[in-house]
Amino acid sequence: MKLPQIDLKELEKAKEKNFKERLEFIDMYVDWIKKTPNLQWSLQQKKIIDKK
Amino acid sequence: MDIKFSKDNIAFEKEINDLDRLALDFTSALDKCKIKYVIISGYVAILFGRSRASEDIDLFMEKIDYPKFLMLWEELEPNFMCINTSDPKEAYTEYLSNNTAIRFSKKGEFVPNMEIKFPKQELDFWSLAHPIKVIMNKDVLVISPLELQIPFKLVLGTEKDIEDARYLYKLFKERLNSELIDQFVRKLKIGEKFRKYLS
């Protein structure tokens, strides 16, 4: 099987970009949770955490 | 988010999830045995709403002697099992007293679990000496101060830790003791990371 060419520098850049986007998501999530009633955010959190 | 801060207390209401339930059930045994503890690390971010799963909840408990540990073991026994060993003497002497964590899960489950350690470093003792009571609905959990937890997450430094630090900092920035955070940032020599990820 022929494997694709892998550009490790490109991969590192993609990893950094992905992390930056995740940090930006954290900021959006904080903005959302600050203005969302406790019952609403905690029910959504429960759905994620209780999923086994 | 409706949340009330006072000097040593944080109070809020939430729908309890499985990790919250694990923390509450375990710490109620510690409370019954009058053992001081502080919850640290990732669960602190989850407690306050970060939506991510976790395999464990980390906790420091004060150093106790073996008879008291046995009392705790017996209190936990109906609902929890120690993952490392079924022998309380071994758990105490080979693990805890050697500064090695032990883990307790609900019976029949492996994860999530409680990772329990005695304090070892000055920072650990400081956490235990400055507990913050979190009143969640009508239940109480005790955590290490956010002003230490946030910088310490940057020391740990994985992407997950940095995300937790950023989450807690951005969520509570206006309520935190910024002077205390600055002191920890200087002591832990993480000024650059702090500026890069939290500013």
Bin A5: left if φ > 0, else alpha if -120 < ψ < 50, else beta: beta
- CA distance, residue A6 to nearest chain B CA (Å): 23
Return the SS3 of B176. Answer: coil
What span, in angstroms and rounded, lies between the C-alpha atoms of A47 and A36?
A: 16
Residue of B nearest to A51 (CA): B53
Q: Residue A52 pLDDT more than 80?
A: no
Virtual torsion, Cα B148, B152, B154, B155, nearest 10 deg = 150
pLDDT in tens, chain B (199 residues): 999 999 889 999 999 999 999 999 999 999 999 999 999 999 999 999 999 999 999 999 999 999 999 999 999 999 999 999 999 999 999 999 999 999 999 999 999 999 999 999 999 999 999 999 999 999 999 999 999 999 999 999 999 999 999 999 999 999 999 999 999 999 999 999 999 999 8
Residue of A nearest to B22 (CA): A50
Residue of B nearest to A18 (CA): B159
Token readout for A32 is 């959302």
Tell me the ipTM for this assembly: 0.91
Task: Indicate the pLDDT class of residue A51, thresholds 50, 70 and 90.
Answer: confident
From the list B2, B53, B167, the residue facing A49 with the nearest CB is B53
CB contact under 8 Å between A22 and B2, yes or no, is: no
From the list B17, B46, B167, the residue facing A50 with the nearest CB is B17
pLDDT tens digit string along A6-29? 999 999 999 999 999 999 999 999
The residue assigned the tokens 């904080």 is A30
Instruction: Say what the pLDDT of residue B199 is.
Output: 85
- Going by C-alpha positions, the residue among B145, B153, B141 that lies closest to residue B22 is B141
CB-hemisphere CA count at 13 Å for B34? 2
HEC states along A1-52? CCCCCCCHHHHHHHHHHHHHHHHHHHHHHHHHHHCCCHHHHHHHHHHHHCCC
pTM of the model: 0.95
Instruction: Say what the pLDDT of residue B137 is.
Output: 97
Instruction: Say what the pLDDT of residue A27 is.
Output: 97
